[in-house]
Amino acid sequence: MVEKLTEEAIEGGLADRPDWSRSGDSIQRTYAFGDFLGSIDFVSRIAGRAEEIQHHPDILIRYSKVTLTLSTHDAGGISAKDMDFATDCDLLYTA
């Protein structure tokens, strides 16, 4: 079972991921692209990684912007899985 992170661990994890912020029991980030197809390409890469690790984000697409929201429902909040996936998402964004 995945455990919910402590407040201190969440703060530390976000300090290491300055583009991510906390939103209640989730973390989120908005990524910007040049156009709609760039957004969709990114979402496709995120979906592939999410399936690999069986950890699925909430995804909001607004033309050239994609907002990802991560939370671990089994843990009842933010877990290490969310922090790890946030790092994966950032790497996919820069790839």
For the chain, which ranges sit under pLDDT 70?
Answer: none
pLDDT of residue 95: 84
H helices present in the chain, as ranges: 7-15, 36-53, 80-94
Q: What is the pLDDT of residue 1?
A: 79
Question: Domains in the chain, start-ordered, CATH in brackets?
Answer: 7-94 (3.30.1360.20)
What global pTM score does this model have?
A: 0.95
C-alpha dihedral, 5 to 30 to 92 to 58, nearest 10°: 60
